[in-house]
């Protein structure tokens, strides 16, 4: 981070910096595009630029949220094994990789949606504005990818697991919860883009507001599907290492309990085969008590979860994924209504 950026960051509160990044460049690029292309700044154009600004603000706050979550998870990993865990899970911003992702996004967008055939077409189709938007999105995407890789690395560290008698996730639930929260933050963007892209809201004076469904385009489907696949793939990447550790721990504990269970059953069979005498009654009773205890232990071991999250976390994730599309359409209606007035 340069000295200038550090100075700006220390001089301005985060919310003010977010508003500047979200509104000032977008509005400036929008005005430049339509003045160069000799177009008219209509309400629909201004409404689209506001959508870009709101998405950029969302990305910036999401990046701050992801950074805090990873730092908190890093502290938790150190507490699980303070003597062995020396890996720092904090996120480091890499402008070089952000630039690579940005160029990839621009290339994919050019392949799917084509390029303008004239100089004025570059501004008429808002290419500079899209380029700025994709740069912010590339920064967000880099942070999301890097954070998932950090969780994957944390899952492979020599952590001291919590006994299964205290926690059915062996103390690894924060890793799964963090992954779910990060993927929920990421999933908001493709869902909102899909809904907003398929819903056309037309405001006119005589008839009021008309809501229409836009036709599905192959390019839109490919773009959104790619975003979803990237999100799902990066979501399962860190969880695979956690899932493997839970299965190994469960297999180890179950092997020990099953060996004790087998030994007790074998001894009971030997005593029962000796005859009907009462000389082994007390031993058989003690073995029966041990068998009950071992079966309870076996039941507890079988309840060790294979994945580091529970139904409540998944329910909250589903709620977070359902609400944004409706809120996005509602916000678009409010913006267009306000500009129409």
Q: Hey, CA dihedral for 96, 234, 75, 58, is it positive or negative?
A: positive
What is the pTM (predicted TM-score) of this model? 0.75
Q: Which residues contact 24 (CB under 8 A, 6 or more apart)?
A: none
DSSP state of 17: H
Q: Which of 223, 29, 15 lies closest to 109 in space, CA to CA? A: 223
CA distance 159 to 79: 9
CA distance 139 to 119: 28
Alpha carbon of 66 to those of 29, 47, 151, 185, 229: distances in Å? 28, 28, 12, 9, 20
pLDDT at 328: 58
pLDDT at 321: 60
CA 41 from chain center: how many Å?
36
CA-based radius of gyration for the chain: 29
CA distance 217 to 224: 11
Alpha carbon of 297 to those of 96, 163, 171, 262, 310: distances in Å? 52, 12, 19, 13, 21
Tokens representing 110?
């050019």
CA 209 from chain center: how many Å?
35
User: In the chain, how many domains are there?
Assistant: 1
pLDDT at 272: 73
DSSP state of 276: S
Neighbouring-strand partners of residue 208: 204
pLDDT at 63: 92
Residue 188 structural domain: 3-340
Q: Are 148 and 235 in contact (CB under 8 A)?
A: yes
pLDDT at 312: 65
Q: Are 242 and 159 in contact (CB under 8 A)?
A: no
pLDDT at 100: 93
pLDDT at 29: 85
DSSP state of 85: -
DSSP state of 162: P
CA distance 325 to 331: 10
Length of the chain: 341
pLDDT at 60: 93
Residues of the chain with pLDDT under 70: 1-11, 37-48, 82-91, 121, 124, 193-220, 274-280, 310-341
CA distance 233 to 78: 27
Q: Which of 228, 229, 144, 142 lies closest to 193 in space, CA to CA? A: 228
């Amino acid at each position: 981070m340069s000295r200038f950026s550090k100075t700006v960051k220390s001089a301005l509160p985060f919310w003010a910096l977010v508003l500047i990044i979200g509104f000032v460049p977008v509005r400036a690029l929008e005005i430049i595009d339509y003045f160069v292309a000799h177009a008219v700044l209509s309400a629909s154009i201004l409404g689209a630029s506001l959508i870009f600004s709101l998405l950029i603000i969302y990305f910036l706050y999401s990046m701050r949220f992801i950074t805090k979550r990873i730092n908190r998870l890093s502290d938790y990993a150190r507490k699980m094994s303070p003597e062995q865990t020396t890996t720092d899970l904090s996120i480091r911003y890499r402008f070089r990789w952000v630039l690579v992702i940005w160029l990839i996004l621009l290339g994919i967008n050019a392949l799917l949606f084509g390029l303008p055939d004239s100089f004025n077409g570059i501004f008429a189709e808002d290419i500079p504005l899209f380029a700025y938007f994709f740069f912010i999105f590339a920064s967000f995407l880099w942070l999301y990818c890097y954070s998932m890789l950090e969780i994957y690395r944390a899952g492979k560290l020599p952590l001291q697991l919590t006994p299964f008698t205290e926690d059915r996730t062996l103390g690894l639930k924060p890793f799964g919860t963090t992954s779910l929260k990060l993927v929920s933050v990421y999933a908001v963007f493709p869902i909102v883009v899909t809904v907003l892209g398929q819903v056309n809201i037309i405001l006119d004076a005589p008839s009021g507001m008309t809501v229409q469904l836009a036709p599905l385009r192959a390019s839109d489907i490919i773009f959104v599907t790619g975003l979803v696949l990237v999100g799902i793939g990066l979501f399962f990447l860190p969880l695979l290492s956690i899932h493997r550790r839970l299965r190994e721990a469960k297999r180890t504990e179950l092997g020990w309990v099953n060996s004790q269970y087998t030994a007790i059953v074998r001894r009971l069979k030997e005593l029962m085969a000796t005859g009907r005498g009462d000389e082994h009654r007390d031993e058989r009773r003690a073995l029966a008590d041990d068998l009950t205890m071992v079966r309870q232990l076996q039941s507890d071991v079988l309840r060790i979860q294979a994945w580091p999250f529970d139904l409540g976390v998944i329910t909250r994730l589903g709620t977070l994924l359902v609400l944004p599309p409706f809120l996005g359409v509602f916000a678009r209606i409010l913006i267009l209504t306000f500009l129409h007035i």
